[in-house]
Amino acid sequence: MPEETPHKRRVHYSGKYPKKFEEKYKEKDPEKYADTVAHVISKGSTPAGMHISIMVNEILDFLKIQPGQRGLDATLGYGGHTRKMLECLNGNGHLVGLDVDPIESEKTVKRLRDAGFGEDIFEFELINFAEIDKVAEKHGNFDFILADLGVSSMQIDDPSRGFSYKTDGPLDLRLNPLKGESAAQRLRSITKEEFVGMLIENSDEPYAEEIADKVFFRMKNGAPMETTTELREAIEAALVRLPKDERDEAIKKSCARTFQALRIDVNSEFEVLYSFLEKLPTVLNPGGRAAILTFHSGEDRLVKKSFKDLKKAGIYSDVSDDVIRPSSEECRINPRAKSTKMRWAIMK
């Protein structure tokens, strides 16, 4: 008789609530453990493996989606915005979702299919939103478009993706971990001067020189720079001479900025956004509406300039004069919304 595979019990965490990502199985199963998920959200946290969509009401108020329209979610992510837009179509119309992350997008598409959104109303393309012209060639132009430029919480929280300095994991930071150089490989392929420029241009890092000096000194002397912890420790060492009462906060902010700068570089985020903005008017129908959520000043400057220039050129009939920000109540419930800025444009 064939040997039976022994039953392997799920690893349980000690204490009342789990701390490690892999132990938070209840948070990753919101259908089964709704009470746990609600409790985590009520504390102002995002459940593991989930993402809380930002500025949903403001987006829907602007897009004014009507049944029968054709739309595009250029950054599918967890699918929260997508689902709300699909509900506005009320079974009549079509929405295309794009993403470059093959891991999370597969889960998101399954959730949307399970919610009853079939291919007749929702289609997915594993493609970078810089290529919206190719998407429009296949699906036609769009009446509304949303691009949420933030990294999704389920990517940030998963240590294996390497997006966060707070947990140990490989120094990866790729939105598509199957393509291109990881952040660790990128650090090995550039000069110290290039790293300084990256930190300043991508995240306005005030201690760029000190951080680059320490990172490259360590690598030159054989220390690995392969994990999130190793990079964080190099940043901590670079700022060790700061006054003690300033040091902890400065390290925290410099870690966040350094990881942001590397992520932007590894994923060519500015180049991708520039291409998207350039092509955006060519894929919108007359009167079509586009909303973009940005999360740092570099992104917002690009969006603001593009919208302003194209309105001046007579391509957009109207654009947002000022940024729209999430409400204080939303920021309280979801602290990750605090840095969000929304801008919009309407085609002539």
Highest mean pLDDT of the ranges 24-33, 37-46, 328-337 = 328-337
**Fold (CATH) for 56-153+270-347:** Rossmann fold (3.40.50)
pLDDT above 90 coverage of the chain, percent: 76
pLDDT band at 17 (very low <50, low <70, confident <90, very high): low
Q: Which of 77, 46, 48, 256 has its CA nearest to residue 149? A: 77
Domain extents for the chain? 56-153+270-347, 176-266
Edge-first strand listing for the sheet containing 142-148: 122-126, 94-99, 70-73, 142-148, 284-294, 341-347, 316-319
pLDDT band at 45 (very low <50, low <70, confident <90, very high): low
Is residue 128's pLDDT more than 50?
yes
Using DSSP, how many helices (H) and how many strands (E) does the chain show?
14, 7
Can you give the pTM of this predicted structure?
A: 0.83
pLDDT in tens, 215-238: 999 999 999 999 999 999 999 999
CA distance 241 to 115: 54
Q: Name the band, by pLDDT with cuts 50, 70 and 90, for residue 47.
A: low
In this prediction, residue 157 has a pLDDT band, given cuts at 50, 70 and 90, of: confident
- CATH class of the structural domain 176-266: mainly alpha
The mean predicted confidence, pLDDT, of the chain is 89
Predicted confidence (pLDDT) at residue 65 exceeds the cutoff of 80: yes
Q: Which two tokens stand for residue 175?
A: 């939105």
Residue in the block written with tokens 């306005």: 204
Query: Between the CA of residue 57 and those of 41, 87, 88, 100, 216, what are the distances in Å?
Result: 18, 13, 12, 26, 46
329 pLDDT band, cuts 50/70/90, is very high
**pLDDT at 23 exceeding the cut of 60:** no
Please say if the pLDDT value at position 10 is more than 50.
yes
Amino acid letter, residue 238: A
At 1 the pLDDT is 47
Cα 22 from chain centre: 21
User: Residue 122: what are its φ and ψ, rounded to 5°?
Assistant: -135, 130
